[in-house]
């Protein structure tokens, strides 16, 4: 194994992947060479182009659909699948063979993430892939692209920083690390995307960042990508006279992003056309979606324009005769995007959630309330105590504050290229602050809303070597296992359950929690399942704390965990008392172990990623 020459940041996004690198041989952050790595990919059958982004799409073509030479990449043998721009283009015509949003499936608790289930709508003859495999395909492509460009510095020898949403649960993180490991990336760390965006801001500010923030600042990072929304709060603290950054809270996983917005506009235009008596087929609806995206960009970037034309070209070779023409007005954009996704609500607003129908089709758990501002209000209210125990922050928040008051905000993600959406978000946030007598937030200007995460991640590889400010924080949740409490059983009632804390809030990478005093019984040779919980607000629970009751909003149930003790020298069926110990690996994943009483080596406890079915 050779010493890593580069740190490579990989933003494995829901809709796009981006790869960036820094040269680790440079000593000073000021002279840091940093760049995004273009990714060669098929853009048409038999045509390969380098693009700054790799669309996160996997297409599984019919054997007669493409010649093997049409799938030729600059490396290796043609694969029986297509990744990237061509996959997206072919999938728009044949959706039953397209795997999209694999990342969202990877953290979908209701399904088996290792089972070949994608595309969900595919007919039986299509050989489906698992969300994990799809992720591996994207990473393989990125690795091949890197290795082709830097044959002397293969990716598996470099420091690789893979970004994940801050809201990813331990199981999804573990699956992401597993995908990277199966591609051979052994020098791997995971980094939360909002943190990566902040690292990029620090890098772009070139040392000036210390002048733009001060001790006592709370930076709100709003990362709104193609498919997901991710919030984080980062506090500016001081140690030994120099500024430090500490990530104090992350939000829930919200499946809501820019693609939803384009779709919302397309449906609005479709409804308008339907009123005029024009029905659209699937092909035309896609055309409308595409047309609305560029019309939206026109309207959101030009405050004078009142309407922008939306043209859907005919499918046949008769372009003029068959072309459908309509327009998108400013009022429609304002109603559907600005007011629809960023309504001006007060700080007490909460996202609406409908009870799900009992027989939901297998699909992604999209956010039920499209209002970003309501999700944001709920996040800040829940995290009102996030800085309470932080040195220097004791008196910062007024006593009656109903939500945590951020002092600065950093936007990330392609959605915020639209200035009116950014302005509306600021406006709403400031109205909440004003209502509680707090000053408005400062906007931290970050460039490159699309590429910042990958670039920031690469820079983090440099920072990890002790050459720049590091955002501290550790795990953003405390974790608990459910154990039956020792109360006498009452007929007709489930035995009450206690949540036993096994991992405190804020565990750093490479650390191990203490052993809790409580023991649980494991049956040898049989898988034993435990309920598993996490809390993003209970910051002070220590290992061994047993909660008998908790607020509905305080603790959320995660997927079950499962321990299987091998029979090795023991009697199958015997019950062995063990204690559960948590550790955070160097990679950044949570590892749970069952440690027997005699102190011998523990067994790994697995996250159950097979879903409920």
User: Binding marks (x or -) toward other proteins, 310..329, rule CB under 8 A?
Assistant: -x-x-x-xxxxx-x-x----
Position among 4, 5, 26, 72 found at the interface with other proteins (CB under 8 A): 72
Count the alpha carbons within 13 Å of 480 in the hemisphere toward its beta carbon: 27
Q: How far is the CB of 129 from other proteins (least distance, A)?
A: 22
Q: Mind giving me the DSSP string for 145-212? A: HHHHH-TTS-GGGSEEEEEE-TT--HHHHHHHHHHHHHTT--SEEEEEHHHHHHHHHHHHHTTTHHHH
Partners of 73 in beta bridges:
none
Contact 606, 563 (CB under 8 A): yes
Task: Please identify, using beta-carbon distances, which residue of 47 and 215 lies nearer to other proteins.
Answer: 47
Peptide bond into 119 cis (omega under 30): yes
Contact 83, 141 (CB under 8 A): yes
Contact 481, 56 (CB under 8 A): no
Partners of 502 in beta bridges:
none
Among 22, 101, 89, smallest CA distance to 49 is for 89
Q: How many residues bind other proteins (CB under 8 A)?
A: 26
Q: How far is the CB of 47 from other proteins (least distance, A)?
A: 4
- Interaction between residue 70 and other proteins (CB under 8 A): yes
Position among 5, 26, 43, 448 found at the interface with other proteins (CB under 8 A): 43
Q: How far is the CB of 446 from other proteins (least distance, A)?
A: 25
Interaction residues for other proteins, span 92-151 (CB under 8 A): 93
Q: How far is the CB of 226 from other proteins (least distance, A)?
A: 19
d(CA 25, CA 32): 9
CB atoms within 10 A of CB 429: 22
User: Binding marks (x or -) toward other proteins, 257..296, rule CB under 8 A?
Assistant: -------------------------------------x--
Task: Please identify, using beta-carbon distances, which residue of 46 and 398 lies nearer to other proteins.
Answer: 46
Beta-carbon contacts of 374 under 8 Å, excluding residues fewer than 6 positions away, are: 343, 345, 349, 350, 351, 352
Position among 5, 26, 49, 140 found at the interface with other proteins (CB under 8 A): 49
- Interaction between residue 69 and other proteins (CB under 8 A): yes
Q: Near other proteins by CB under 8 A, which window of 47-55, 168-176, 356-364, 490-498?
A: 47-55
d(CA 589, CA 180): 13
- Interaction between residue 47 and other proteins (CB under 8 A): yes
Task: Please identify, using beta-carbon distances, which residue of 62 and 214 lies nearer to other proteins.
Answer: 62
- Interaction between residue 305 and other proteins (CB under 8 A): no
- Interaction between residue 48 and other proteins (CB under 8 A): yes
Q: How far is the CB of 56 from other proteins (least distance, A)?
A: 20
Count the alpha carbons within 13 Å of 308 in the hemisphere toward its beta carbon: 20
* Residue ranges in contact with other proteins by CB under 8 A: 40, 43-50, 69-70, 72, 74, 93, 294, 309, 311, 313, 315, 317-321, 323, 325
């Amino acid at each position: 194994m050779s010493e890593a020459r580069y740190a490579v940041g990989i933003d494995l996004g829901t809709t796009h992947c981006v790869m960036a690198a820094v040269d680790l041989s440079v000593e000073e952050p000021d002279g840091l060479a940093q760049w995004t790595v273009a990714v060669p990919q098929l853009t048409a059958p038999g045509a390969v182009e380098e693009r700054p982004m790799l669309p996160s799409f996997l297409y599984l073509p019919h054997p007669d659909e493409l010649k093997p030479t049409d799938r030729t990449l600059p490396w290796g043998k043609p694969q029986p699948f297509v990744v990237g721009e061509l996959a997206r283009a072919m999938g728009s015509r044949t959706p039953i063979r397209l795997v999209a949003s694999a990342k969202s499936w990877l953290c979908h608790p209701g399904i088996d993430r290792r089972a070949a289930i994608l595309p969900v709508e595919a007919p039986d003859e299509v050989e489906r892939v698992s969300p994990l495999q799809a992720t591996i395909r994207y990473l393989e492509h990125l690795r091949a692209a890197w290795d082709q460009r830097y044959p002397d510095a293969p990716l598996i020898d470099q420091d690789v920083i893979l970004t994940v949403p801050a809201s990813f649960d331990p199981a999804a993180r573990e699956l992401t690390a597993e995908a990277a490991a199966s591609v051979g990336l052994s020098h791997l760390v995971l980094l939360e995307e909002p943190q990566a965006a902040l690292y990029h801001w620090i890098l772009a500010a070139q040392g000036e960042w210390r002048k733009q923030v001060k001790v006592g600042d709370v930076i709100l990072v709003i990362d709104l990508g193609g498919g997901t929304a991710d919030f984080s709060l980062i506090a500016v603290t001081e140690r030994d006279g120099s500024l430090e950054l500490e990530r104090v809270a992350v939000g829930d996983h919200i499946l809501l992003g820019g693609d939803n917005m384009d779709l919302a506009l397309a449906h609005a235009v479709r409804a308008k056309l339907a009123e005029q008596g024009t029905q659209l087929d699937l092909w035309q609806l896609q055309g409308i979606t595409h047309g609305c995206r560029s019309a939206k960009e026109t309207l959101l970037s030009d405050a004078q324009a009142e309407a922008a034309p939306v043209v859907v070209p005919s499918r046949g070779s008769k372009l003029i005769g068959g072309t459908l023409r309509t327009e998108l007005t400013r009022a429609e954009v304002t109603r559907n995007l600005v007011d629809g996704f960023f309504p001006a609500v007060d700080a007490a607003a909460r996202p609406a959630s409908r009870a799900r129908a009992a027989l939901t089709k297998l699909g992604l758990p999209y956010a039920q309330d499209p209002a970003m501002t309501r999700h944001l209000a709920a996040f800040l209210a829940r995290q009102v105590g996030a800085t309470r125990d932080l040195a220097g922050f004791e008196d910062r928040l007024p006593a009656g504050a109903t939500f945590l008051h951020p002092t600065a905000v950093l936007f990330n993600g392609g959605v915020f290229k639209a200035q009116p959406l950014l302005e509306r978000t600021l406006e709403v946030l400031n109205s909440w602050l004003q209502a509680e007598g707090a000053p408005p937030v400062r906007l931290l200007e970050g460039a490159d809303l699309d590429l910042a995460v990958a670039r920031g991640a690469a820079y983090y590889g440099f920072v990890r070597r002790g050459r720049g400010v590091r955002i501290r924080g550790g795990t953003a949740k405390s974790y608990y296992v459910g154990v039956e409490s020792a109360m006498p059983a009452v007929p007709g009632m489930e035995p009450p359950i206690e949540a036993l804390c096994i991992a405190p809030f804020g565990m750093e990478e490479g650390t191990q929690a203490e052993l809790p005093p409580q023991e649980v019984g494991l049956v040898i040779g049989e898988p034993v399942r435990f309920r598993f919980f996490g809390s993003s607000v209970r910051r002070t629970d220590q290992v061994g704390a047993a909660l008998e009751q908790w607020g509905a909003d305080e603790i959320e149930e995660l997927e079950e965990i499962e321990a299987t003790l091998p029979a090795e020298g023991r009697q199958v069926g015997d019950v062995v008392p063990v204690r559960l110990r948590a550790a955070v690996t160097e990679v950044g994943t949570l590892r749970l172990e069952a440690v027997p009483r005699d102190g011998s080596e523990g067994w790994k406890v697995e996250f159950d990623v097979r879903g409920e079915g």
